[in-house]
Structure 1
Amino acid sequence: MATVRTKFRASSSDTKEGTLFYQVIHNRVARQIHTGYRLYPHEWDAENREIVFPPGVADNRRNYLVSLGNALQADAGRLKGVISYLDRSGEAYTVDDVVSRYLSQADNHCFISFARNLAGQLGRIGRQCTADTYTTAINSFIRFREERDIPLDEMDSDLMVAYEGHLKSNGICPNSTSFYMRNLRAIYNRAVDKGLTVQRYPFKHVYTGIDKTVKRAVPLDVIRQIRDLDLTLQPDMDFARDIFMFSFYTRGMAFVDIAFLKKTDLQNGVLTYRRHKTGQQLSIKWEKPMQELVDRQGTSGTPYLLPIITDGGKDVRRQYRNQAHRVNRNLKKIGRRLGLAIPLTTYVARHGWASIARSKNIPLATISEAMGHDSENTTRIYLASLDTAEVDRANSLILKSL
């Protein structure tokens, strides 16, 4: 009879999540099934092969771990069912038969169906941001395919080149095209990891890079203008300005992370949170301007630090998304009032902090750590499009020397 063990593989970096996988053993032959589930080493009990809840774990992380535990239990039940079926058949079988039958039950062998199932699975285990990102890319590909699914084995470079042409003909910019391609590639690679198809590199002839973007940073004097605006008669714009400044004060904290901050995240003068995008834990020294801003907000009836999510009984993600649209809409009004050349959004606060930090000769590694980037390369992408003044000055010198 085949046996199944759940195992954890730690990341090479102590600050990043490791991965869970299933090891199936039969007749002394072992095979692995990748799950896509991720967690930190201190959240896994290797001896008992089960998830543990660290002391003081945040509510959103606890919910994620509970969902992950339920997913592991459901997978284990399916694997046991496959093994029982093969045992009852009375015929000899291999460990590959177990893996193949399990995977065929988990996902069919068509790309769109697999992608939808994967997005749903990620949502169920608490990785809603990734699920939403995948869903956006999937929906674009579905429109291209006119709702027709395609076998994984037919995903090839010709198809993706045709899809890229479709996006270009519809006016989709290169960075957005690359966004769709990178996410579809990640989904496809998951299918390869699960053994549902062989790697055919369908994305090798399409663009998956990141172009330099239009400058989205503002200098320190503009940040001061935004801070000092009198918006007392326009409460919606006043609130949007406060969220912008809070992001700037907290080293360019992303709006989604601001939205889910809880009062319990602030302890002993330190604000600690996990980035929704990467799961990385960051700590920020609590400063006077942050406290003054929070004091202006009314959150006495909720556990959240700022009044973005105001009703815990309703869909909190919908509240977050609605507020994000409202805040950015009002920030653009502020930007127009100040005569800014770029649309003012919460993202400008993040870019602005990075640009100003760099202008003060703060090392790239420090900026990268402060912003919670996975690598300095990500920070370089941020900074590459922020300020071309030095290049412009060099060009002027050259022209004057003619």
Structure 2
Amino acid sequence: MATVKVKFRASSVADREGRLFYQIIHNRVTRQISTGYKLFPSEWDGLYAGGLLLNSKGKRHAYLATLKSRIAEDKARLECLVARLDRAGESYTAGDVVKLYLTPSNREDFFTFTRMLIGQLRQVGKTHTAERYVTVMNSFGRFRRENELLWEEVDSDLMVEYETYLKSRGVCPNTSSYYMRGLRAIYNRAVEKGMTVQREPFKYVYTGIDKTIKRAVPLKVIRQIRDLDLTLFPTMDFARDIFMFSFYTRGMSFIDMAYLKKKDLQGGTLSYRRQKTGQQLFVKWEKPMQEIVDKYNTNGTPYLLPIIRDMNADIRRQYKNAAHLVNDKLKKLGEKLGLTVLLTSYVARHGWASIARSRNIPLAIISEAMGHDSEKTTRIYLASLDTTSVDKANSRILKAL
């Protein structure tokens, strides 16, 4: 295994700065890499000892601090290259390490690696993971202003800066955690491939999942949504119909609605498997469901609802575009009704569960109806949907004081 050292060469002229260089030693052969970094001999003593000189002030102190950071990054990168060559199991020389370090094409940055990874995931059919990484990379790219990012620059300080950036733009903790967990997954893949060493850059940022405030609307709001005359607003009318279909089918998720096929409806029963869990559910077919299906022309497709319309186009992209359109129109519909809850397709699912609970429908039945794998999941789901009864109890206690 090659050894990497940081060396200082003093100037032959008194009171002049000397130069730093990196020394690569392998099989008793030594090669050097010039850095262009300049220091006075007294300053090198301070850096070599692991800290900045106490007597350095102002711009010089800032320069030394930056220099110390760059040296650490350069050395980390050289060590990564050595580790990669060692893993390859083939013989190499100190000159090979130098050549790799100085070759721009081998300075593979974070974004280049991520784009390559996304392409590989798509090739093996892992579309969902690929799309997640695209979302994460786009957000992180905006933070970086699309500047390249070498692996040795990915550290805990950078992740804290990114988290602060997300907070300043009103991103909620769960969304920030989603980005961080995606970046961590990409980073760990790079570590596995020997692109970088594990420096635990995510140890100071939040990567958990907060218990979110569940959003639901009461039955009277569901009626308002159903009874709105949206004849003059066809796209909003379509979004409302998808929302109501979800409610009618016990809170069916948008992706499950998108992939429903005509053959899934037989003998007055709609059967489907949840995309999320693979669990099979059966729904009794009711009149309002049929009214929505009859309203739209789906000839030429095997699908029950007009979400995926073009059989020659990318199906998943059509689903995602439709989801974006529906949620955008539902948001405007909610504003039109003056709702305090942000109206999305998911509110229909929350709404059905909340209303079922308020009608004293047993938890086991709600759990089965929603396709939860256990009642525990349903309890978590319902935990903060409706606190009316708790609030009433508290009011009674306060009035008794």
Q: Which residue of 1 aligns with 2:126?
A: 127
- The worse-fitting range, judged by mean Cα deviation, of 360-369 and 254-263 is 360-369
Provide the residue aligned with 1:158 in structure 2: 157
**Unmatched 5+ residue regions in structure 2?**
1-85, 91-105
Pairwise CA distance, 1:229 = 3.4
Shift of 1:165: 1.6
2:335 & 2:216 partners in 1: Cα distance? 15
Quick check: 1:280–1:372 contact (8 Å CA) kept in 2?
Answer: no
> 1:324, 1:291 → 2: CA distance?
21
Match of 1:284 in 2: 282
Contact 1:251 1:371 survives alignment (8 Å): yes
CA change 1:379–1:312 in 2 (3 A) is same
> Structure 2 vs 1, CA of residues 381 and 134 (structure 1 numbering), >3 Å: closer, same or farther?
farther
Q: Normalising to structure 2: TM-score of the pair?
A: 0.63
Partner of 2:80: none
Cα separation, partners in 2 of 1:314 and 1:130, compared to 1, 3 Å: same
Q: Counterpart in 2 of 1:36?
A: none
Q: What is the distance in 1 between the residues matched to 2:396 and 2:365? A: 32
Report the Cα offset of residue 392 of structure 1: 2.2
Secondary structure of the structure 1 residue equivalent to 2:240: helix
- How far is the alpha carbon of 1:349 from its aligned partner? 0.7
Structure 1 pair 158–95 and aligned structure 2 pair: CA distance change class (3 A): closer
Cα displacement string for residues 157-181 of structure 1 (whole angstroms, at most 9, x for unaligned residues): 3332222122223333323212211
Q: Secondary structure at the match of 2:339?
A: coil
- The answer (yes or no) to whether the contact 1:212–1:385 under 8 Å persists in 2 is no
Q: How does 1:238-387 map to 2 (within 5 A)?
A: 238-276=237-275, 278=276, 280-289=278-287, 290-362=289-361, 367-368=366-367, 370-372=369-371, 379=378, 382-387=381-386
- Are the structure 2 counterparts of residues 363 and 151 from structure 1 closer, same or farther at C-alpha, using a change threshold of 3 Å? farther
1:113 match: 112
2:270–2:285 contact (8 Å) kept in structure 1: no
Alpha-carbon distance in 1 for matches of 2:266, 2:107: 48
Give the direction of change, closer, same or farther, for the CA distance of 1:357–1:184 in structure 2 (3 Å limit): farther
1:356-380 superposed Cα distances (whole Å, 9 cap, x missing partner): 2333455656545544557767655
Matches of 1:381 and 1:226 in 2, distance apart?
27
Instruction: Return the offset for 1:339.
Output: 3.2
In the TM superposition, what is the alpha-carbon distance from 1:287 to its structure 2 partner?
1.6
CA RMSD of superposed structures (Å):
3.6
Aligned-partner Cα distance in 2 for 1:108–1:267: 58
- Cα deviation digits, residues 150-207 of structure 1 (max 9, x gap): 4556543333222212222333332321221122223334445666656544323212
Q: Report the AA paired with residue 205 of structure 2.
A: V
Distance change in 2, residues 1:399/1:359 (3 Å): same
**Matched residue, 1:71:** none
How many residue pairs get aligned? The number is: 302
Query: Distance between the aligned counterparts of 2:176 and 2:316, measured in 1?
Result: 26
Report SS of the residue matched to 1:184. Answer: helix
The aligned residue for residue 183 of structure 2 is 184
Change (3 A) 1:340 1:232: same
Q: Are the structure 2 counterparts of residues 377 and 164 from structure 1 closer, same or farther at C-alpha, using a change threshold of 3 Å?
A: farther
Output the amino acid matched with 2:394: N
| Contact 2:159 2:201 survives alignment (8 Å) | yes
Distance in 2 (CA, whole Å) between partners of 1:112 and 1:366 is: 48
2:392 is equivalent to residue 393 of structure 1: yes
Computing the radius of gyration over CA atoms, which structure comes out larger, 1 or 2? 2
- 1:141 maps to a residue whose letter is F
TM-score by length of 1: 0.63
Q: Which runs of 5+ in 1 are unaligned?
A: 1-93, 99-106
8 Å CA contact retained: 2:274, 2:281: no
1:323-379 deviation digits (Å, cap 9, x = unpaired): 333323333343344332223221211221222233345565654554455776765
For residue 391 of structure 1, report the CA deviation from its aligned partner: 3.5
Deviations 1:37-56 (A, max 9, x none): xxxxxxxxxxxxxxxxxxxx
Residue identity (%): 66
Number of the residue aligned with 2:82: none
Letter in 1 for 2:281: S
- Residue 271 of structure 1 aligns to a residue whose secondary structure is strand
**Equivalent-residue separation in structure 2 for 1:156 and 1:172 (angstroms):** 21
* Counterparts of 2:364 and 2:152, CA distance in 1: 42
Which stretch of the first structure deviates more once superposed, 165-174 or 264-273? 264-273
Q: Classify 1:142/1:337 alpha carbon distance in 2 versus 1 (closer, same or farther; 3 Å).
A: closer
Q: What secondary structure, in the 3-state scheme, does the structure 1 residue paired with 2:206 have?
A: coil
Distance (Å, rounded) in 1 between the aligned partners of 2:200 and 2:377: 24
Contact 2:180–2:202 (CA<8 Å) still a contact in 1?
yes
Q: What amino acid maps onto 1:397 in structure 2?
A: R
CA contact (8 A) 1:245 1:349 kept: yes
Q: SS of 2:215's equivalent?
A: coil
CA contact (8 A) 1:271 1:286 kept: yes
Whether contact under 8 Å (1:108, 1:114) holds in the other structure is no
Q: CA deviation at 1:274?
A: 4.2
1:212-223 alignment runs, 5 A limit: 212-223=211-222
Partner AA of 1:386 in structure 2? L
- Contact preservation (8 Å) 1:272, 1:281: no
Check 1:169–1:224 CA distance in 2 against 1; reply closer, same or farther (3 A cut): closer
Alpha-carbon separation, structure 2, partners of 1:244 and 1:394: 33
Alignment of 1:25-36 (within 5 A): none
Quote the residue 2:205 is aligned against.
Answer: 206
**Amino acid paired to 2:118:** A
